[in-house]
Amino acid sequence: MQKGQITKALSGFYYVTDETKTIYQTRARGVFRNQNLTPLVGDYVEFESDNVQEGLIQKLLERKNELSRPPVANVDVGIIVMAATDPAFSTQLLDRFLVMLEAKHIIPYIVVTKMDLLTEAEKQLILSYQSDYQTIGYQMMLMEEAEDDRSEQLETLFKDRFSNQLLVFIGQSGAGKSTLLNVIDPSLELKVGETSRSLGRGKHTTRHVELIKVFDSLIADTPGFSALSFDEIEKEELSEYFPEMWDRRAECKFSGCLHVNEPKCAVKKAVSEGDIPEYRYADYVLFFEEIQNRKPRYKRKGESS
């Protein structure tokens, strides 16, 4: 039995790369369908193959996480790309991305583009956000549009920080995800402002996900990340995904404090004293109410939890 990682999925075939970097074209055993399992790009698998054109995946090894949009497993880092302007910077959208990544145990890294388009007052506001998020424990890189500067910053980032990691790029439309990917690796030739035909994405193309090797990292070639609802998160666990709130849970009067209506809540106290930014708490309450008010989701027969 051979072992490898699925690095591309296309038209029912799974392309598995083994430790010698040899790529095998494989199919999945029919039993996976009966078990309601679908192999994903990023999965580590056991497979059998007599040649590189004909292989059969026999077993999916345990995943540490999975995303549904894009469908990728075993993601290490989520690079959140936010524009400083055009479109306007949104802490609510950023916090939504952060919660989604935290819930999947994916390390977030924030990149803010278009800093050179800001007035001095606008720049100071973004710098204050950077200070807040870095105090919480998140890394935030501020980036201008100069090509040479960006190239050097990103090359350093990928070589020093993200070596041997599987990454996804996520963020708001128009923030410059494709532009950044092109700076990292110009051979990708991603179309800026439109869907990339070369990587098989678009309304009328075959569903196609692929891991692209950049330096010593693997990047999922689908920068889109549309799973922004909190269907899989319960209100009781939401504060786990706000690190500054989770760190204070033991100081609340009630052990199951939800940090909304309870008295003697350490989180609300920290907000009132300026130790937790008001906008972060407002986003927490917004997400809490969204989860509380969502319609019940009933599982179909045979669907796993």
Could you give the domains of the chain?
2-62 (2.40.50.140), 67-220 (3.40.50.300), 235-293 (1.10.40.50)
Asked if residue 279 has pLDDT above 60, the reply is yes
For residues 275-286, give the mean pLDDT.
Answer: 98
For residues 205-212, give the mean pLDDT.
Answer: 68
Q: Residue 122: its pLDDT value, please?
A: 96
For 27-41, 48-62, 100-114, 271-285, which range has the lowest pLDDT when averaged over its residues? 27-41
Q: Residue 106: its pLDDT value, please?
A: 95
Q: Residue 205: its pLDDT value, please?
A: 37
Asked if residue 257 has pLDDT above 90, the reply is yes
Select the more confidently predicted residue: 44 or 146: 44
Asked if residue 26 has pLDDT above 50, the reply is yes
**Percent of all residues in the chain with a pLDDT value above 70, rounded to a whole number:** 86
Asked if residue 273 has pLDDT above 90, the reply is yes
Select the more confidently predicted residue: 201 or 40: 40
For residues 178-182, give the mean pLDDT.
Answer: 77
Q: Residue 98: its pLDDT value, please?
A: 96
Q: Residue 302: its pLDDT value, please?
A: 47
For 17-31, 64-78, 158-172, which range has the lowest pLDDT when averaged over its residues? 158-172
Q: Residue 298: its pLDDT value, please?
A: 57
For residues 208-221, give the mean pLDDT.
Answer: 83
Q: Residue 51: its pLDDT value, please?
A: 94
Asked if residue 296 has pLDDT above 50, the reply is yes
Cα three-residue angle 192-142-83, rounded to 5 degrees: 45
Integer Cα distance of 229 and 227 in angstroms: 6
